[in-house]
Amino acid sequence: MRFLKTLGYVLALPLILVAIWWVSTLGETNFFVPTPALLAEAFAETWLGDRILSDVLPSIGRLVVGVSSAIIFGIVTGLLIGSVKWLRDLTEPVLEFFRAIPPPVLVPVLMLLMGISDSMKVVVIISGCIWPVLLNTIEGVRAIDGVLSDSAHTYGIQGWARVKYLVLPSAGPQIMAGIRQCLSIGLILMVISEMFASSSGLGFAIVQFQRSFAIPEMWSGIVILGLIGVAMSFIFQWTERRVLRWYHGLREVENAI
């Protein structure tokens, strides 16, 4: 029963929006605005065939590799920079500079340097996604409570044990906030890197449809991107609730007082 209720809440608004769309495109003749039925047909035709293998999966693969590398690399580097003061002082201005560069401008540069390849696209994704994770991890590590740190110290919890039991969980909420941003940037960069120079992928397919005036197909590609975004967001929320259960509980208790 509760499940049905939740499902109802999740699906209600999308259904209403589709209904509005359907009503407003009744008798529509504009070539650029497809009706729901036409779009659904184009969607099934376009994506439920070879394109899953030739475009969707390669895109998702690059996205997953890029985003997970960015997360791992960002957390590891963040732990290091956050824990060592001189390293922090040394790197902070440089990090702000790199963070300020909009990652799409790196696509042409990396294309020249690395050629048109999967690794170029993955590097584009990493180069844009790493910043929120890295900077949030640094902040999270810096913000560790002094008393908690002293407690761990008096009980001889040092080195790797300190990272595992104190630093990582304590910075967890900040790191997760960074990962959330990282995911949306990742999706954007996945598409952009494929739009510039590619022979496969969602970005490539969408641009190709647009140029060949396959308008319903183009829209259906945009729908796929939206669905991937939603799926990522669900996976993230599911993971976050588990990893940060303590944090949400603690916040609830604090807010109740």
Partner 1 sequence: MQSETTPAPAGKTLPGNEAMLSVRNMKKVYKTDGGDIEAVRNLTFDLKAGELACLVGPSGSGKTTLLKCIAGLMAPTEGEVLLDGVKVSGPPKKMAVVFQEYGRSLFPWMRVRENVELPLKNQGVPKAERDRLVDDALEAVGLAHVPQSYPWQLSGGMQQRVAIARAVAYQPEVLLMDEPFAAVDAQTRADLEDLIRTVWRKLGVTVLFVTHDIDESVYLGERVIILSSSPTVIQEDLTIDLPDERDQLNTRSLPRFTELRHHVYEQIQLAKAGHRPTAAAQAGH
| Residue 203 near residue 59 (C-beta atoms within 8 A) | yes
CB of 137 to partner 1, least distance (A): 16
Residue 151 makes contact with partner 1 by CB under 8 A: yes
| CB closer to partner 1 out of 3 and 160 | 160
Closest CA to 179 of 25, 73, 105: 73
Q: Segment near partner 1 (CB under 8 A), from 87-95, 109-117, 201-209, 241-249?
A: 241-249
| CB closer to partner 1 out of 54 and 149 | 149
Mapping DSSP onto H, E and C, the string for 227-243 reads HHHHHHHHHHHHHHHHH
Residue 163 makes contact with partner 1 by CB under 8 A: no
Residue 157 makes contact with partner 1 by CB under 8 A: yes
Residue 73 makes contact with partner 1 by CB under 8 A: no
| Residue 229 near residue 221 (C-beta atoms within 8 A) | no
Residue 143 makes contact with partner 1 by CB under 8 A: no
Q: Segment near partner 1 (CB under 8 A), from 1-9, 29-37, 58-66, 243-251?
A: 243-251
| CB closer to partner 1 out of 40 and 243 | 243
Distance, CA of 146 to CA of 125 (rounded, Å): 36
Residue 250 makes contact with partner 1 by CB under 8 A: yes
Residue 229 makes contact with partner 1 by CB under 8 A: no
- Residues near partner 1 (CB under 8 A) are 145, 147-148, 150-151, 153-157, 161, 165-166, 169-170, 172, 246-247, 249-250, 253-254
